[in-house]
Amino acid sequence: MAETVQASQQDGHFNESIVNEEILEDMKKNRIDHMKYLPDMEQLEESDVMDQVISAMNAYDYDKYTEADVRRALAHDNRTPEDFKALLSPAALPLLEELLRYGRKHSEIVILEGILNAEWYRALFELAVALYGKNIYAYYFDIPFEETVKRHKTKPNCNDFSAEDMQRWWNEKDYTSVLYETRITADQDRESIVRDICQNIISNGK
């Protein structure tokens, strides 16, 4: 039985159909809940880690970083929290502009993706129009906050920040007047989104 189980797990999945019901039921009963503390784990009942994180977030001054800070952060093999603050600041804008220019010269397709504040990145959008003209396909995820939180809970980093944190960052209907953005709504699944984008690009590229 051990050899059979090992063979069935080589692809990373366990085939329950090869185990009789009694053994399977016993396995389920003794299955470890990885969301609970185990006896030998350290429990920090009065940890102030969350308070430290929120305090650092509220103290974050994105205007103090320069392009030199961003380039310095990119040059580091092991980046510090201060490096990541620089990379998230508007000072990173010139580097995104460089990427757009490079892509225009060296690639047929350029994808610019991220949470791009319409006000902060207006100059970037204007550059995109200057470089690519009408050959721009812009998409905006217009999803309610409640649905955004629901989807966030399915991600591996769901415990990194809470719904309350997200509410403070939330920027409702952050459309840009520079680009024509196609709205993607909560009722569209991943397959239909990909299909619609591909059809849009193909039909307009003819």
Whether the CB-CB separation of 178 and 126 falls below 8 Å is answered with yes
pLDDT at 185: 92
* Total-model pTM: 0.55
Whether the CB-CB separation of 179 and 129 falls below 8 Å is answered with yes
Alpha carbon 181 to its chain centroid, in Å, reads 20
For residue 185, what is the DSSP state? E
Rounded distance, CA 14 to CA 70, Å? 45
What's the angle, vertex CA 28, arms to CA 24 and CA 32, rounded to 5? 140
3-class secondary-structure state, position 140: strand
pLDDT at 197: 87
pLDDT at 138: 93
Q: Which residues pair with 142 in a beta bridge?
A: 185
What does the block give as tokens for 182?
Answer: 């196609």
Find the Cα–Cα–Cα–Cα dihedral 79, 82, 85, 89, rounded to 10°: -100
pLDDT at 28: 65
Which residue, among 56, 94, 101, has the nearest Cα to 74 in the 3D structure? 94
Report the amino acid identity of residue 33: D
Average pLDDT by stretches of 10, the chain with 206 residues: 40 51 67 61 64 74 87 83 80 85 86 82 93 92 88 80 78 90 90 87 71
Give the model confidence (pLDDT) of 90-144 as tens digits: 888 888 888 889 889 888 888 887 778 888 889 999 999 999 998 899 999 998 8
Rounded distance, CA 90 to CA 87, Å? 8
Consecutive H or E run containing 138:
strand 138-142
CA distances from residue 104 to 108, 131, 134, 160, 197 in whole angstroms, order as listed: 7, 7, 14, 36, 20
